[in-house]
Structure formats: structure tokens, C-alpha cells
Structure 1
Amino acid sequence: MDASALRKYGPLALIVVLAALMTALAVQNRQLRQQQALLVTKVEQLSKAVHGLPEGAEPEALTATAINGESLTLAGSRSGRQVLYFFSPSCKFCLASVPQIQALDAAGRNNGHRAFEMVAVSLPPHDAAPDYASQHGFAFPVINDVDARITQRYSATLVPMVVVIDDGKIIYRHVGQLKDSSVNAITGAFVVRAGRKAAASPAG
């Protein structure tokens, strides 16, 4: 390329090179963001995995009294189907999960018949629990776990946390803010459990 051609096409070539570099950097930046998002997701999953008792655990039965004075037994071989909801009145993720908790409670009611017993367990601040439950229309028993017996038994170190129990055995656990899909997964756990029981039973 002679000097005149270089003067004529040089700036254009430089623009092309710069455009190619910017495109390459944009692609690389997008890949880095995707890798970072994947890493954050894995870290969150690992973090949540250490909270709460694992599926398959059979916690010892605990008796407690709800805010309304109702006596309750949590877990144990005669507990039937239970959904325990651990929350704190000061937790913003619990507040964001209220619509899903209300939907979960509604899913447990079927023409007056309870598909499962739903019980909430309040962590500190305990003095705010009664007003919180009333304000958000919790139509299920709420236990104010002042002595932390239940919290410690279920290793509820992160809220919100939902523990699904069937005949004394934990069959599902959700840690973190609930979504509509979480409600389906929680109620579906009983269906999955029933299917496994049926498959394991000898043919009649």
C-alpha cells in the first residue's frame, strides 16, 4: 500500500480494528458476567444447604403452645402432614414471602379439610410476633419460640425457611425468599412422597 492509499484508508482500517476490539471485549465481558452469576448462584446454594435439617431427618417430637393458646406437637411419628414456617418479624425476605405463605396456607385447605397442618415459628424480635401475625392475616397457629427450642432443634439459622414433614420425616426444605414456584414445590412434596410410598408398597 503506497503512502496515498495509507492516508486514504488508514483511518478506516483503524476504525475497523477498534470496532473488532470493542466487540471482542463486549463478548468477553458478557461471558465474565455469566460466569460470575453462576458462581454467585452456586455460593448461595451451598450457603442455604448448611441451614436446617436435611431431608430424611426425623426430628424428635416437640410440644409447644401457639400465641392463641393452642397446644401443638411438631413432628413425631403421629404428626401426619405438617408444614413449618420459620420467620422473623424483622426479616425483609419474610415480608416479601407473605403472599406465598398465605397461598401455601390456602393450598392446605380444601372445603374445610386440611391437606396438611401449617404452623409458623417466630424468631426474634419476639414482642413483634403477635402484631405481625395479625397484620398479615396468618390464619394458622404461630409459635413464639422465645426459648429457641424449636429453632435449635431444626437448625433454623436463616429465614425464611419452610420445613415439610410427613409422618415425622422431613421430606422437603426451602431456605430463602419464597416464590410462586416454591409454593408448588412445597405442596408437591406430599404428592411425590405419596407416589414413592405407593411404589414401595406390595401389590394388593
Structure 2
Amino acid sequence: MAFVVAGLVLVGAIGLLNLLLITAVIRRLRRQEEERGEALRSGPRPGEELPEFSAVALSGRSVSRAGLAGGPAVLVFLSTGCPACPAAVPRLVEYAAQAGLDRERTIVVITGAESEAGELIEPLAGVATVVTEPFPGELSRTFSVSGTPTTVIVGMDGRVAYAEAGTSPLIAPAAA
């Protein structure tokens, strides 16, 4: 009889341990699902003032925060090693046309070797001012870019209206 009681206690203890482990796994899966549902946070927070920056574009023109003052602008961060970045380029071209942004107000920062950036640079000719930088780049750090492509939309007031990473993050021009 003692063996039966000991066996039942052992089976009960194993069952309780199993229940605790399953509960922990379910909690972890729920937490991961919640995190996956959120957009990747990359770039300055909406409402923040655009960070101070300056750089020299491929055209030789200087770009800076002061140069973007007084109107809406968009900055897009791409990288040469990013498989999703080429898909973001046509969306940017379309967005710039819809929003009426000229080349000086559409800034594209490409991180990586300039020799590998041709696929990203070509469709942007006449549409955007392109800046290249090595990885990790100073502009990417200044703008707190944690993934590419990242889009930062600046409103009329010089504050960040939108900043997010993803393959199709561009929103309606009215938000700029």
C-alpha cells in the first residue's frame, strides 16, 4: 500500500510540475505574440524635434536640419545588405510625388558600400537627395535607426510626424 501512495504522490507532483511548465510556456508565447504585433521601433519618436544633423550628398550638396526647416520632408534610411530595401524605393518615389516633395526635401540615407548601392540609387535620380555612409553610419546613429528600411516623416513644424521601420511604412501625404 505504501508503494501505491508513493506512486500517486509522484504522479501528482509530476503532473503539477507539467502544469507549471505549460503555464510558463503559454505566458512566454503570449508575450512574444504581443511584441511581434507591434511595429519595429526605429527612428526618433513622433512629436520629437528633428535631431540636429548635417551631411554631404552624392551630388556634393550639403543637407542639414536647417535645410529642411519650414516645410514637410521625408528621410528614408536604407542599407545595401537589406533584402527589403529595394521594395521601399518605388514607394518612396510615389510618396514624394503624391506629397509634392521636391528633391531637397526627400533625403535617402544608404548605409553600406557606395559601390553596392547602385540598385538603390538609380531609381532615386531627380527624386531624392542621396547620402551614403559606411556601416554603422553617423546619421543612422543620430536618428536612432535600428532597422532598415526606416522612414521618418517631418511635419511643417520641424517635428517628427511619423517614424517606423518596415517594407511599406509610408503613410498618406496628409500626415506630413
Please give the alpha-carbon distance, in whole angstroms, between the structure 2 residues aligned to 1:89 and 1:161.
13
- Which deviates more from structure 2 when the two are superposed, residues 51-60 or residues 169-178? 51-60
Q: CA deviation at 1:82?
A: 1.2
**Greater share of helix:** 1
Aligned counterpart for 1:132 among listed residues 119, 124, 131: 119
Q: Name which of 174, 180, 184 aligns with 2:164.
A: 174
**Residue identity matched to 2:87:** A
Matched, 1:78 2:78: no
Shift of 1:145: 2.4
> RMSD of the alignment, in Å?
3.0
1:74-105 CA-partner distances (Å, limit 9, x unpaired): 36883532100000122111112222122112
Q: Deviations over 1:48-80 (max 9, x none)?
A: 13x222111113321211111111113688353
Native 8 Å contact 1:73 1:79 kept in 2:
no
Q: Is the 8 A contact 2:74 2:107 kept in 1?
A: yes
Distance 2:81 2:71 in 1: 31
Q: Deviations over 1:97-151 (max 9, x none)?
A: 2221221122233xxx74981100111234323x234433442101112372211
Tell me the secondary structure at the aligned position of residue 127 of structure 1: helix
CA distance 1:75–1:88, change in 2 (3 Å): farther
- For the structure 1 residues 144 and 114, does the alpha-carbon distance in structure 2 shift closer, same or farther, using more than 3 Å as the test? closer
Is the partner of 2:148 in helix, strand or coil?
A: coil
* Residues 135-146 of structure 1 mapped to structure 2, 5 A cutoff: 135-138=122-125, 139-146=127-134
Q: Which residue of 1 aligns with 2:16?
A: none
The count of aligned residue pairs is 145
Aligned residue in 1 for 2:13: none
CA contact 2:53–2:65 (8 Å) conserved in 1: yes
Unpaired segments ≥5 residues, structure 2: 1-28
* Rounded Cα–Cα distance in structure 2 between residues aligned with 1:78 and 1:135: 27
Does 2:85 match 1:100?
Answer: no
Given candidates 123, 147, 152, the residue that maps to 1:163 is: 152
Q: Which has the higher contact order (CA 8 A, sep 6+)?
A: 2
Partner of 1:44: 36
Structure (1 or 2) with the larger CA radius of gyration: 1
Maintained 8 Å contact 1:59/1:153: no
The 8 Å contact of residues 88 and 123 in structure 1, kept in 2 or not, is answered as yes
Query: For 1:136, what is the secondary structure of its paired residue?
Result: helix
**Structure 1-normalised TM-score?**
0.60
Opposite residue 168 of structure 1, the aligned amino acid is: G
Contact 1:120 1:140 in 2 (8 A): yes
1:86/1:134 Cα in 2 relative to 1: closer, same or farther (>3 Å)? closer
Number of the residue aligned with 2:105: 117
What residue ranges of structure 1 are gaps of 5+ in the alignment? 1-35, 191-204
Kept in 2, the 8 Å contact 1:87–1:159? The answer is yes
Sequence identity of aligned pairs in percent?
A: 21
Give the structure 2 partner of residue 152 of structure 1: 141
